[in-house]
Amino acid sequence: MNAPQGEPPPAPMRRIKLSDQIAEDLCRRIARERLAPGDRLPNERALMQHYGCAKGTIREALKSLEVQGLVTMQSGPNGGPEVRPISVEAAAQQLRRFLHFQELDFAQVYALRRSLEVALGASVVGRLGAADFQRLEDNIAACEAANAEGRRGTGRIVEVDFHDILCDASDNPLLAFMCRFLNSLLRDLVEFRSESLTEHEAFGAHNLASHRALVSAFRAEDADGVRREMHEHMCCAEHFMQRLDAKFRKDLLSTRVPGARAAE
């Protein structure tokens, strides 16, 4: 069919490979049948008969699921595709690939953290047990030691781990995942910028004070106090991070090799 006069022709439809169609159907089957980690999908021969295709197509579909982290292939006479839980790291890696070619900075991360971390903190009030508080206290002690020893980059990364501990205690898996993903981005940004920065001492002191205040509010099960402390913590952290980012950009420009072309 020709396109109406003056309108561009429709884009050709992309043909989806059979192996991709099978992989998507198997994903739906896992969800539909509520298969749990350790459950098995049918073996290759059964899948070949079900889909009416060659062994190579089935193997390609299963390999796709394996790369996505949905199944693992078990060997042996009773082997086959076994359902496995998708780790946070595997899921986050897909998002990181999307952001790989994006221009990302601290301001964009904190635009989300300012609200999400406050919600995360409120969600774990009353849910933290003795083991959780011990982990938080140990984290604060590790941060204090790193700062005292001048391990600036290590201190900043360990401070982010404090917020991952809160993620572990949350009963909201979507909120916890989003916060944990932002934490992973922060680790990359901090590690990349840490060596040439001078504001770490003040930043470390702020983080220690904020984390201690948060632990006190958590122990008192003071939800309003947690929200208030976390909001202030995120606003101050954003301020420090933006200063570090500006200093990094200045250092990067000043240390560029003379005569070298700027990256386009």
Nearest alpha carbon to residue 89 among 184, 201, 7, 161: 184
**Do residue 153 and residue 74 come from a single domain?**
no
Domain count, the chain: 2
> Region 203-227: what's the mean pLDDT?
95
**Do residue 248 and residue 146 come from a single domain?**
yes
Q: E-strand spans in the chain?
A: 71-74, 80-83
- Domain at 182, CATH number: 1.20.120.530
Q: Which residue segment(s) compose the domain that 166 sits in?
A: 89-254
Distance CA 259, CA 91 (A): 42
**pTM for the structure as a whole:** 0.69
* One-letter amino acid for residue 182 of the chain: L
Q: Which long-range contacts (C-beta less than 8 Å, at least 24 apart) are formed by 219-227? A: 219/133, 221/125, 221/126, 222/125, 223/122, 223/125, 226/121, 226/122, 226/125, 227/118, 227/121, 227/122
Q: Could you tell me the pLDDT band of residue 93, with boundaries at 50, 70 and 90? A: confident
| C-alpha distances out from residue 84 to 26, 38, 150, 182, Å | 13, 6, 42, 24
Q: What is the pLDDT of residues 26-73, one digit of tens each?
A: 999 998 998 888 899 999 999 999 999 999 999 999 999 998 888 998
Q: Is the residue at 98 inside a domain?
A: yes
Give the pLDDT score at 57: 94
**Do residue 96 and residue 37 come from a single domain?**
no
Question: Among 83, 113, 136, where does a domain finish?
Answer: 83
Q: What is the CA radius of gyration of the chain?
A: 25
**Do residue 58 and residue 156 come from a single domain?**
no
Distance CA 68, CA 64 (A): 6
- Domain at 40, CATH number: 1.10.10.10
Token pair of 114 as six digits: 């300012």
**Which region among 40-54, 60-74, 96-110, 116-130 has the lowest average model confidence (pLDDT)?**
96-110
* C-alpha dihedral, 196 to 201 to 202 to 206, nearest 10°: 120
Q: Is the residue at 5 inside a domain?
A: no
Q: Is the residue at 163 inside a domain?
A: yes
**Do residue 125 and residue 247 come from a single domain?**
yes
Q: Is the residue at 133 inside a domain?
A: yes
Question: Among 83, 109, 129, where does a domain finish?
Answer: 83
Give the pLDDT score at 149: 81
